[in-house]
């Protein structure tokens, strides 16, 4: 029988192997180059004899490849996939890297960080992600999403190290997964939702009930950029049916800070009525202005 290579993922627990892998392991002698291979202990516990050899000996039936090795060095051998990564498995690599950075002997800078010290980077990475979306550069977007994901993993790791009430990335992931299931009863339950608007209205209603909110404006983060804040407030108030109109523009050229604020609020409300994100619209206008300035500078 020709050599059989058993390929496994380093991100799947040892011993969790496919049926084809177990059939191969039970069909003949098994060899491995390194006694420390993570599958060895699990296989021996299952009654599989595993011998150590520097290379596959003549007549060997099964050779345990190093975790993550696809067997390219043995082009003529049969490769049996024992375990492979599930979608999202590489997130485990990021968690492992963060563990190394925060553990003794890791990075001094990472070791000193706190939730508060990292806050500025969370905001910065969010804006850089938005810029990548606006620029349409797919490579930049992938990189910036990674930087943003790092902030989530970093904050979760800090919380995991607390002496009391710790929680980590698993609790973060479990929380958002549970929330998505609760907020999508039309997908995970027997509720009906004919349109995206139906979904949005149910989401807001369930959110109010879960958080025991009594005011239409409860939960709106007041620290967000002012234009998006104004649009969000108007949206919440209208959805709740509260009869408080948005400030109206004073007309003409506003003179005082109050008039400027009312004019901007009225403009944000008008943009929302037309389905326009005022914050995005202003960023787009700023980009056009930058392009015009650069064109004028280039023209000399």
Please calculate the CA angle 234-246-262 and round it to the nearest 5 degrees.
115
Do 114 and 47 share a structural domain?
Answer: no
Q: Torsion angle of alpha carbons 101, 106, 110, 113, nearest 10°? A: 110
**Segment 104-128, tens digit of pLDDT:** 999 999 999 999 999 999 999 999 9
What is residue 251's predicted lDDT score, i.e. its pLDDT? 74
**Segment 161-187, tens digit of pLDDT:** 999 999 999 999 999 999 999 989 988
Give me the domain span that covers residue 107. Answer: 90-167
What is residue 92's predicted lDDT score, i.e. its pLDDT? 93
Do 101 and 45 share a structural domain?
Answer: no
Pick the closest to residue 151 from 118, 106, 108 (CA basis): 118
Q: Residue 201 CA to chain centroid, in angstroms?
A: 25
DSSP string of 20-56?
HHHHHHTSS-EEES-TT-HHHHHHHHTT--EEE-SSP
- Cβ atoms within 10 Å, residue 29: 15
Residue range 126-154: mean pLDDT, rounded: 95
Q: Torsion angle of alpha carbons 230, 236, 242, 245, nearest 10°? A: 20
**Segment 233-291, tens digit of pLDDT:** 888 888 777 878 888 777 778 888 988 888 889 888 888 888 898 888 988 898 898 88
- Range 251-268 burial, b when 16+ CB lie within 10 A, else e: eeeeeeeebeebbbbbbb
Is 158 a member of any domain?
Answer: yes
CA dihedral sign, ordered 43, 49, 55, 59: negative
230 pLDDT tier (thresholds 50, 70, 90): confident
Do 119 and 64 share a structural domain?
Answer: no
Residue range 128-143: mean pLDDT, rounded: 94
**Segment 81-112, tens digit of pLDDT:** 999 999 999 999 999 999 999 999 999 999 99
Do 44 and 98 share a structural domain?
Answer: no
Is 134 a member of any domain?
Answer: yes
Do 125 and 75 share a structural domain?
Answer: no
For residues 28 and 62, the answer to whether their CB atoms sit within 8 Å is yes
Do 70 and 94 share a structural domain?
Answer: no
CB hemisphere CA count around 6 (13 angstroms): 35
What Cα–Cα distance (Å) separates residue 256 from each residue in 62, 267, 282? 81, 17, 22
| CATH assignment of the domain containing 295 | 1.10.287.1080
Is 97 a member of any domain?
Answer: yes
Segment (H or E) for 203:
helix 196-211
Is 198 a member of any domain?
Answer: no
CA dihedral sign, ordered 201, 206, 209, 210: negative
Q: Residue 2 CA to chain centroid, in angstroms?
A: 44
Please calculate the CA angle 138-144-150 and round it to the nearest 5 degrees.
145
Q: Does residue 1 carry a pLDDT above 60?
A: no
Q: Residue 200 CA to chain centroid, in angstroms?
A: 22
Is 111 a member of any domain?
Answer: yes
Is 19 a member of any domain?
Answer: yes
**Segment 27-38, tens digit of pLDDT:** 889 999 999 999
Residue range 139-153: mean pLDDT, rounded: 97
**Segment 19-69, tens digit of pLDDT:** 999 999 998 899 999 999 999 999 999 999 999 999 998 877 899 999 999
Is 127 a member of any domain?
Answer: yes
193 pLDDT tier (thresholds 50, 70, 90): confident
Do 134 and 74 share a structural domain?
Answer: no
Is 193 a member of any domain?
Answer: no
Domain endpoint, select from 132, 167, 202: 167
Do 120 and 61 share a structural domain?
Answer: no
- Lowest average pLDDT, out of 11-15, 149-153, 218-222, goes to 218-222
Total domains in the chain come to: 3
Task: Tell me how far apart the alpha carbons of residues 30 and 33 are, in angstroms, rounded to a whole number.
Answer: 11
Do 77 and 95 share a structural domain?
Answer: no
Do 277 and 224 share a structural domain?
Answer: yes
- Max Cα-Cα span within the chain: 91
């Amino acid at each position: 029988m020709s050599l059989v290579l058993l390929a496994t993922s380093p991100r799947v627990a040892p011993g969790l192997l496919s049926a084809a892998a177990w059939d191969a392991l039970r069909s003949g002698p098994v060899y491995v180059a390194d006694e420390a291979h993570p599958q060895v202990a699990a296989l021996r516990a299952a009654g599989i004899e595993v011998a150590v050899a520097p290379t596959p000996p003549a007549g060997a039936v099964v050779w345990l490849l190093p975790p993550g090795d696809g067997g390219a060095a043995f082009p003529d051998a049969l490769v049996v996939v024992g375990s492979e990564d599930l979608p999202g498995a590489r997130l485990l690599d990021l968690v492992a890297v963060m563990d190394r950075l925060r553990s003794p002997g890791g990075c001094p800078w990472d070791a000193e960080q706190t939730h508060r010290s990292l806050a500025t980077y969370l905001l910065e990475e969010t804006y850089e992600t938005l810029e990548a979306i606006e620029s349409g550069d797919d490579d930049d977007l992938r990189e910036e999403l990674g930087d943003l994901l790092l902030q989530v993993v970093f904050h979760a790791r800090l919380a995991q190290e607390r002496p009391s009430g710790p929680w980590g990335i698993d609790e973060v992931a479990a929380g958002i997964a549970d929330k998505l299931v609760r907020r999508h009863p039309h997908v995970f339950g027997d509720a009906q939702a004919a349109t995206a608007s139906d979904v949005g209205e149910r989401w807001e209603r369930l959110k109010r009930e879960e958080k025991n909110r009594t005011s239409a404006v409860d939960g709106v983060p007041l620290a967000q950029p002012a234009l998006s804040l104004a649009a969000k407030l108007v949206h919440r108030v209208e959805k709740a049916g509260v009869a408080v109109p948005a400030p109206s523009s004073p007309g003409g050229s506003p003179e005082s800070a109050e008039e400027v604020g009312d004019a901007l609020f009225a403009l944000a409300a008008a943009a929302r009525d037309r389905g326009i994100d005022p914050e995005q619209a202003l960023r787009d206008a700023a980009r056009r202005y930058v392009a015009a300035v650069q064109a004028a500078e280039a023209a000399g």
